[in-house]
Structure 1
Amino acid sequence: MTLSLVGKNILVTGVSRPMGIGAAITKILAKAGANVITHGYSNYDKEQQYKDTAAHFPSTLANKLAEEGHCVTALESSDLSLKDVPEQIIAEAASKFGYLDGLVLNHAYSVCMSLEEWTAEHIDAHMNINIRASMLMIKAFAKQKPQNRNSAITLFTSGQYLGPMTREIAYAVSKDAIIGLCKQAAIALAPQSIRVNCVNPGATDTGYCEGEAYETVEKMFPRGRWGTPEDAAKLVHFLHSDYADWITGEVIASEGGFRRDITLD
């Protein structure tokens, strides 16, 4: 039993900017010995106007970790909303080392919008990227996995099952569906020795919130700080290690004691 990931080939999605959870996951898995393949979509970061948007970040990260003696391969940026792309990504990632035995579906589409402003396009974007792409990737992952390998899939949900997110209902609905996907896929894939779990990282400081709103959220944590991408990455590391061999079908809230009795305007 070990936290070492030596010999494990793991694909991580949603790796596109320095401050994101995907970057932290990539670093910790690579430093634990895994062969990591990353995928991201930088155009989304541009649309959201993230301050750390960088079109070439995935390859820059891969090169930096390679210089430190780790094995990371960055796939070309592509859009998971396109119906053929999710399975193509699995095939391309598997070809790098012959197969994948780990899958971290960290990607997410989220655009704030009030109920009165909803459009079919707004709803479809959340469902297609957050749910459909994840389902297709899980299907392709299970198909390519060697029979003699114990494997793990980690999905990401949010806090919508613990409290309202009324400015992000399309996102919240899609993330609630991810919980259902986790529980159903865990049973369906158990005979293939594939574990499936779901992480709720809570409010995480990835650079999307600043000023008074940032300070308000900060006060909702008993320890007086936001969650960090590294906090989430450590849990993902554990779930893909031998220590988590008996854990499947679980939704794990890693929120640092986040208090929802303090409400935001």
Structure 2
Amino acid sequence: MESTAENGAGPLAGRVAIVTGVSRRIGIGFAVTRALLDAGARVLAHSWAPHDAGQPWGADPAGPEGVMAALGGEGPRLAHMSEDFADPEAPRRVVRRAVEEFGAVDVLVANHARSSLQSLAELTADELDLSWAVNARASALLTKEFAAAHDDSRPGGRVILFTSGQHLAPMSAELPYAISKGAIHQMTLSLADALADRGITVNAVNPGPVDTGWADEELTRRVGRALPAGRWGSPEDVARLVRWLASDESAWITGQVVDSEGGFRRWAM
């Protein structure tokens, strides 16, 4: 029997989604893309592997081609493009590609992020500007381009942004990241209001500590002790929430920042 993923059946059948930050098989973007494909959507997956290559965890050894192959390969329901969101024109190109590839766009999942470890003493204008551009500016411009391209006669207009836990506890060792993610938190309600009359919802997800291979052993143990389940979140935990927010079942929810942290007890770290 043909699977749901293969035949495009499911609660998101007929919908077209953009998922940004799909660069590593162990990452959140990969799990979200797989969940949306399994729900029947067609997906344009965006990545920017050079960012991961410059981080301690490194780029996926399989490369973008291997990541797409693990999702079933590019074809009628999956396309891929690589763009650097430091370029202000990149959001427009990503949305345009989705429309060219699939004829419409219904769901935007802005999962991409630039990580930046700078304390106050280390803080630089260049890193503040770059983190703002990639994390906050690109999310706002992606939403603008999505709104311009969206056909309101189609059901299920959804924008799903990604913030972090900076509103719940300080992140003083990674200020450019925390500041830019804080901007996403604050823009969510205003973007939701701007699009509410068009039937498009806008929400943000704070996924909490998620095991995507970036933490060292000591941090993994310390954070694990503060999580009631005794484990970090998984990319699949996040993907289930995003799939629900992308579905018709979430139609009454907009302007919200959803903290999906498994009861994370920061005071216990």
Q: Aligned equivalents of 2:224 and 2:59: distance in 1?
A: 21
- The correspondence of residues 128-143 of structure 1 with structure 2, limited to 5 A, is 128-143=133-148
- The correspondence of residues 103-118 of structure 1 with structure 2, limited to 5 A, is 103-118=108-123
Deviation for aligned residue 1:28: 0.7
Percent identity at matched positions?
Answer: 43
Q: Aligned equivalents of 2:217 and 2:76: distance in 1?
A: 37
Cα shift readout 1:149-173 (whole Å, capped 9, x = no counterpart): 2300100010010011110121111
Deviation for aligned residue 1:68: 11
> What is aligned with 1:212?
218
- SS of the residue aligned with 1:39? strand
Q: TM-score if structure 2 supplies the norm length?
A: 0.92
Which residue among 189, 204, 225 is the counterpart of 1:198?
Answer: 204
Deviation for aligned residue 1:262: 2.2
> What is aligned with 2:149?
144
Q: Aligned equivalents of 1:35 and 1:217: distance in 2?
A: 36
Q: TM-score if structure 1 supplies the norm length?
A: 0.93
- The correspondence of residues 53-68 of structure 1 with structure 2, limited to 5 A, is 53-54=60-61, 56-57=63-64, 59-66=65-72
Q: Aligned equivalents of 1:67 and 1:170: distance in 2?
A: 35
- SS of the residue aligned with 1:136? helix
Which residue among 214, 233, 250 is the counterpart of 2:256?
Answer: 250
Letter in 1 for 2:23: S
State the aligned residue count: 260
Q: Aligned equivalents of 1:117 and 1:229: distance in 2?
A: 31
The answer to whether residue 239 in structure 2 is matched with residue 233 in structure 1 is yes
Q: Aligned equivalents of 1:10 and 1:69: distance in 2?
A: 15
Cα shift readout 1:51-103 (whole Å, capped 9, x = no counterpart): 5523633x33433433699822111x221001111111111112111110000
Which residue among 37, 40, 50 is the counterpart of 1:33?
Answer: 40
User: Please, which runs of 5 or more residues in structure 1 have no aligned partner?
Assistant: none
Q: Aligned equivalents of 2:11 and 2:74: distance in 1?
A: 17
Which residue among 12, 19, 23 is the counterpart of 2:26?
Answer: 19
> What is aligned with 2:91?
86
Cα shift readout 1:131-152 (whole Å, capped 9, x = no counterpart): 1111111111001111202300
Which residue among 33, 45, 48 is the counterpart of 2:52?
Answer: 45
Cα shift readout 1:207-264 (whole Å, capped 9, x = no counterpart): 001211211111110110000010000000000111101110011000000001124x
What's the C-alpha RMSD, in Å, of the aligned pairs?
A: 1.8
User: Please, which runs of 5 or more residues in structure 2 have no aligned partner?
Assistant: 1-8
